[in-house]
Chains A and B, each alone.
Chain A
Amino acid sequence: KAGVTQTPRYLIKTRGQQVTLSCSPISGHRSVSWYQQTPGQGLQFLFEYFSETQRNKGNFPGRFSGRQFSNSRSEMNVSTLELGDSALYLCASRPGQPNTEAFFGQGTRLTVV
């Protein structure tokens, strides 16, 4: 079974630009969550999608948005990039039931200059 795949792996953007990150979950998994990882801040929850609907949302500004497609693939968009958005963005997939193991992708390293 293929694991969780994130593209691209690395991205460099300029302040003010927007960016779209992609996550393909494990086949059969319907839940995709997104996290921002920065040194000292751990894994901060952005949002979770299940069956194309946002099921939960963390405390991030509206510049961070996402969506999920009918094949469970998910995209995350960040508009009007700020220097502080530089981070590793991880997605994680789960079958759908809440209390199950989350499988992480390798992440997308976003650098804003």
Chain B
Amino acid sequence: GENVEQHPSTLSVQEGDSAVIKCTYSDSASNYFPWYKQELGKRPQLIIDIRSNVGEKKDQRIAVTLNKTAKHFSLHITETQPEDSAVYFCAASPLELIFGTGTRLQVFP
């Protein structure tokens, strides 16, 4: 089955800096790659997703890149703000959604 690895497990940045979270997946049948943000005590919510026919997608300060050959995909957050502090999960989907172990992002003012 699909296996998703996510790094780093924790990430601390200064407000205004960029943050990058990386994931790798194992199943070449995966063709959908969403990213979820989970704030403390809340449910995970989708922030951006990308499908395998696209290499990059951007939404304001958030971008995701996908390298299908290397089975890598990454989340890029620019101009980070304190409200970006949360746990971020990547996922890959051959059919079911398989998640990485999460990255705790802390943005310090």
Q: Which residues of A contact B (CB under 8 A)?
A: 33, 35, 40-45, 48, 55-56, 58-59, 90, 92, 98-99, 101-102, 104-107
Contacts and interface: CB of A to CB of B under 8 A. Distances in A.
Contacts of A102: 34, 46, 97
The list of the 5 closest CB pairs from A to B, nearest first, reads A99-B32, A42-B101, A43-B99, A56-B96, A104-B43
Contacts of B93: 98-99
Contacts of A106: 42-43
Contact-size category for B: 20 to 34
A104 B97 contact: no
Interface of B: 1, 6, 9, 31-32, 34, 42-46, 49, 51, 89, 93-102
Contacts of B34: 101-102
A75 B96 CA distance: 18
B100 A42 contact: yes
Contacts of B32: 98-99
Contacts, number: 55
B35 to A, nearest CB: 11
6 contacts: A35-B99, A40-B9, A45-B98, A55-B96, A101-B34, A101-B49
Contacts of B89: 42-43
Highest count of chain B CB atoms <10 Å: which of A42, A58, A90, A92: A42
A44 B48 CA distance: 20
Given A42-B6, A98-B95, A102-B46, 18 more contacts: A33-B96, A33-B97, A41-B101, A42-B89, A43-B44, A45-B97, A45-B99, A48-B96, A55-B96, A56-B95, A98-B32, A98-B94, A99-B31, A101-B34, A101-B49, A104-B45, A106-B43, A107-B43
